[in-house]
Structure 1
Amino acid sequence: MLAELQRLQILIKTLTQQLQDKRLENIQLQAQLATPVVNPEEQQARLALQHQLELLQVEHAQSVKDQETLSERLVELGRSHQDLQSNHEGLKATHTQHQVEQNQLRSEIQQLKQTLETERADFAQIKAQLEAERDGLVRKNEFAKQKVEAIIHRLSMLGQSTSTADTAN
């Protein structure tokens, strides 16, 4: 039993030593993993990939920013489009109203033109009647004037004959 106990103590020492060796080896392996041995080509490729990844991340961030800017611009353009469409509808309504007013004015002008033509014809007829009446009155006046002159002439002759008869008496 003593021999068995000694054998077990030696086994425990051996196992303890092996455990310490394995722990030390494990620590060394962990240190190696923490600072891996990389060959320079792999290191350069890794740096290139990391740089490319950073560039892609910057491009992605810029693309997201551009997308947000474009979305905002699209919203602004949508509002501007709605405003322009409202203005267009307003102008269209105003234009339609102006066309209606223009047609009404044309109709009124046409009516006034017809009225003026009718009045012009009426005035021309009245003028012709007045000129004919004036010509008639001028002739009557001339005739009356001739009669008055004839009467004056007769009276003056009668006056002369009475004055000669008075002088003879």
Structure 2
Amino acid sequence: MLEQLQRLQTHIGVLKTRIENAEKENASLLKEKDNSEEQAHSQISHKNSIITQKQDEIESLTDQLSQLQGQFKQLDSDSTALAERYSRLEKSCTDLKNRFQEILAERNELRIAKEKMANEQRHHLQDIKNLKDERERLIQKNEQAKAKVEAIIQRLSILGTEQDHHAQEIQQLAHPSEANEEV
């Protein structure tokens, strides 16, 4: 029995050591657990602050996105308005180009008509000049004929009284208006 008691004491001693070791191990595990919890809390706090920071960044980026979307919508409506204005300007430009072509065609027609009229005017001026020259020639011829008739009348008046009667007839023939006045 003594042996058993010794064995039991040895077992008890071993158990005590094991218990002490287990308690030491338990204490160190508790410390590690506390340290781990503290680290976990600090990591969680750190992660929470990072999450908060990221959420703030997300909100800021969301605000920027909404502002940029508003700007995009404004720019899109501006581009649509500009495209419409450009289309109208392009149509106006085409209309002006067509009108300009019409004006050029009218100008060419007027230029041709002007040249034609200028040629006609030159011909008419030439005709007028020719008619004036003819008139001058006829006036000179008429003056020469008058001078000849007057010379004949003077010669006849010189021939005598007998022939004076004939001279009066000739004069009446030459100047019928004077004869009408005497009558």
Residue 27 of structure 2: aligned partner: 64
Residue 77 of structure 1: aligned partner: 40
Alignment partner for residue 77 of structure 2, among 111, 114, 124? 114
TM-score (normalizing by structure 2)? 0.62
| Cα distance, 1:157 vs structure 2 | 6.0
Question: What does the per-residue CA deviation read over 1:14-66, in whole Å, with 9 as the maximum and x for residues that have no partner?
Answer: xxxxxxxxxxxxxxxxxxxxxxxx72222122111211111111111111111
Structure 1 stretches of 4+ moved >4 Å: 156-166
TM-score (normalizing by structure 1)? 0.67
Residue 68 of structure 2 is aligned to residue 102 of structure 1? no
Question: What does the per-residue CA deviation read over 1:131-156, in whole Å, with 9 as the maximum and x for residues that have no partner?
Answer: 21221121111111122123224434
AA partner of residue 92 (structure 1): Q
Aligned length: 131
CA–CA distance in structure 2, aligned partners of residues 127 and 48 of structure 1: 108
Residue 13 of structure 2 is aligned to residue 53 of structure 1? no
CA–CA distance in structure 1, aligned partners of residues 83 and 2 of structure 2: 115
Residue 144 of structure 1: aligned partner: 107
Q: CA RMSD in A?
A: 2.5
AA partner of residue 61 (structure 2): H
Residue 40 of structure 1: aligned partner: 3
Secondary structure (helix, strand or coil) at the match of 2:82 reads helix
Identity %: 5
CA–CA distance in structure 2, aligned partners of residues 159 and 72 of structure 1: 122
The answer for unaligned runs of 5 or more in structure 1 is 1-37
The answer for unaligned runs of 5 or more in structure 2 is 134-183
